[in-house]
Structure 1
Amino acid sequence: MKNILFVCTGNTCRSPMAEAILRSHQLEGVEVRSAGVYAYPGDAASVNARLVLDDHEIRHDHAASTLSNDDVEWADYIFTMTEGHKQLIASRYPQVIERTFTLKEFVRGDLSDRDVSDPFGGSKQMYERTFMELKQLINELVEKIKN
């Protein structure tokens, strides 16, 4: 069993989309959750995130949650959307730094640009671009998990 946690800021855009995309792969033995470093518990995913997931026929049912000690202890892998999120986790939960990566860093190696674009407050087209970026990264993640 692999427990994968996606982390972003408010847990309404990037991390819920990443969670839904990975869930859609229906990988045996993989559990997935998401959380935000500054989330308001219970918030729905943003309207445009839901619309884009619907357009791609990806099931989703999301309520935001704030990153907690229970989350980080549960996770085998913690994938952040930005280097800033990773550094925040490192400062709050130093015991999990060895299993905390930006999503891009984990799947593509040591890149200068480790951040997934943030569509917060943007148009549906911005969310679509972020979705496509996440979809590609998660396809690469799935290949790494399988190997």
Structure 2
Amino acid sequence: MPRVLFVCTGNTCRSPMAEAILKNKHLDGIEVKSAGIYAAAGNEASQHAKQVLERNKLSHNHRSSLLTDVEVEWADLILTMTASHKFAIQQQFPQAVVKVYTLKEYGSGDETFNPDVVDPYGGSLGMYEATYRELNELIEKAIEKLKS
């Protein structure tokens, strides 16, 4: 049973949205969590992230969590929002090197132009909606890869 961990910076915008998207696909046998490299434990998702999820009829009760050995060991696959997140995980958790990818790298196999999912933190609701659409598209591609 694949266990997927989404990682971003503060675990209040991108990774919780990605977690909610994948969880709400209701795929048998896939467990999903999210964490942040610099997260403060216990924060809710950002207001705009919650609004975007509600608009897309996705339920998700979220509290931020800091990435630790526990989450890294739990995960079969770690999908980061940026190349710098991937690098930080590889440096801090060398045992995870073989299971960490950027979401773009894993989902599309192509990160030659820009490996990062845009961070909407502090931006408009429209920025969050654009990030949601990007995440949803990349997660659809990742699901195909997980199934194969």
TM-score, scaled relative to structure 2:
0.98
Report the Cα offset of residue 123 of structure 1: 0.6
- The DSSP-based 3-state class of the residue aligned with 2:65 is coil
Structure 1 Cα separation of the partners of residues 88 and 110 of structure 2: 19
- What pairs with 1:1-147 in structure 2 (closer than 5 Å)? 1-112=1-112, 113-147=114-148
Structure 2 Cα separation of the partners of residues 64 and 70 of structure 1: 15
CA distances 1:75-99 after superposition (whole Å, capped 9, x unpaired): 0000000000000001100111110
Q: What is the number of equivalent residue pairs in this alignment?
A: 147
CA distances 1:58-81 after superposition (whole Å, capped 9, x unpaired): 011000000000100000000000
Structure 2 Cα separation of the partners of residues 143 and 25 of structure 1: 12
CA spacing shift, 1:136–1:110, aligned 2, 3 Å: closer
- The DSSP-based 3-state class of the residue aligned with 1:35 is strand
Alpha-carbon RMSD across the aligned residues, in angstroms, is 0.6
Structure 2 Cα separation of the partners of residues 27 and 122 of structure 1: 31
Q: Provide runs of 4+ in structure 1 moved above 6 Å.
A: none
- The DSSP-based 3-state class of the residue aligned with 1:67 is coil
Gaps spanning 5+ residues in structure 1: where? none
Structure 1 Cα separation of the partners of residues 137 and 67 of structure 2: 25
Structure 1 Cα separation of the partners of residues 93 and 14 of structure 2: 21
Structure 1 Cα separation of the partners of residues 67 and 135 of structure 2: 20
Report the Cα offset of residue 143 of structure 1: 1.4
Percent identity of equivalent pairs = 52
Structure 2 Cα separation of the partners of residues 126 and 61 of structure 1: 21
**One-letter identity of the residue aligned with 1:37:** I
TM-score, scaled relative to structure 1:
0.98
Gaps spanning 5+ residues in structure 2: where? none
CA distances 1:1-54 after superposition (whole Å, capped 9, x unpaired): 110000000000000000000001011000000000000100000000000000
Structure 1 Cα separation of the partners of residues 40 and 100 of structure 2: 22
CA contact (8 A) 2:108 2:142 kept: no
- The DSSP-based 3-state class of the residue aligned with 1:44 is coil
**One-letter identity of the residue aligned with 2:122:** G
Structure 1 Cα separation of the partners of residues 40 and 120 of structure 2: 18
